[in-house]
């Protein structure tokens, strides 16, 4: 028998299975009160545990959502760092090469043609040497800002290093290419004013065609690059197509 119960029975005079007159009723009342209090405490405890459990679950879900949101933002940030040029905000070289390979694979499957343009700012080193790298950086940003609004959504524009940009005109007809290239060149012939400084900057452009000039990434980039350097040799501020370069 429980020690507390034995103690209480002793107080009430329980002996040899009997209670003194009136004490049996007191004992029954005591037992009922004890059970009632125990039930109330149990109910309170269960309610407390249930409420705490619900609050913990709600807190867990809130923290889970915040964690997932933070993780998604972190993943997006890391993706941007991995694929975007930090200065101009357009694609970087690594992301561009992936895009170029994707376009090549798609063009081989569909039979589509596209053009790869290499663009190099003329006399950019002189800008850096004369006015400092801060002005040079702003010039690169402005160059990207001039071109980006005018390319089609299916085209690809990137900075691959220094003052070199590349542009993919995808899924084009040969007869429409000169107009697109000339429009691109016109953006670089407009006056440049950076922090009230007037700059005399143009661009040299080299163009290679897929699949006419090459049908793989490395060869196509090499031929567009060669055409661009030929443009510089011819006096800068002009466009050279690789196929025409071969005829010179």
Q: Is the dihedral of CA 78, 80, 85, 86 positive or negative?
A: negative
What whole-number distance in Å separates Cα of residue 35 and Cα of residue 15?
A: 23
CA-based nearest residue to 181, from 189, 230, 222 = 189
Catalytic entry in 85, 120, 122, 163: 163
Helix or strand or coil: residue 196? Answer: coil
Compute the radius of gyration of the chain from its Cα atoms: 40
Catalytic annotation on 163?
yes
Q: Are 224 and 118 within 8 A, CB to CB?
A: yes
Q: DSSP characters for 214-243?
A: -SSHHHHHHHHHHHHHHHHHTTSSSEEEHH
Give the residue numbers marked as catalytic.
163
């Amino acid at each position: 028998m429980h020690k507390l119960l034995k103690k209480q029975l002793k107080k009430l005079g329980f002996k040899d299975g009997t209670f003194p007159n009136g004490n049996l009723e007191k004992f029954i009342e005591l037992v009922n009160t004890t059970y009632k209090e125990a039930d109330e405490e149990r109910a309170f405890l269960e309610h407390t545990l249930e409420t705490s459990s619900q609050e913990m679950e709600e807190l867990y879900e809130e923290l889970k959502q915040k964690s997932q949101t933070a993780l998604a933002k972190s993943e997006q940030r890391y993706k941007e760092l991995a694929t975007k040029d930090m200065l101009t905000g357009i694609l970087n070289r690594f992301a561009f090469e992936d895009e170029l390979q994707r376009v090549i694979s798609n063009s081989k499957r569909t039979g589509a043609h596209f053009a790869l343009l290499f663009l190099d700012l003329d006399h950019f080193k002189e800008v850096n040497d004369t006015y400092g790298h801060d002005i040079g950086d702003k010039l690169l940003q402005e160059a990207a800002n001039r071109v980006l609004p005018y390319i089609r959504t299916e085209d690809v524009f990137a900075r691959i290093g220094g003052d070199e940009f590349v542009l993919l005109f995808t899924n084009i007809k040969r007869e429409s290419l000169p107009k697109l290239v000339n429009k691109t060149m016109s953006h670089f012939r407009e006056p440049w004013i950076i922090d009230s400084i007037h700059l005399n900057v143009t661009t040299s452009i080299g163009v290679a065609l897929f699949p006419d000039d090459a049908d793989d990434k490395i060869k196509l980039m090499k031929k567009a690059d060669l055409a661009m350097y030929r443009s510089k040799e011819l006096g800068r501020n002009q466009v050279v197509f690789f196929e025409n370069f071969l005829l010179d």
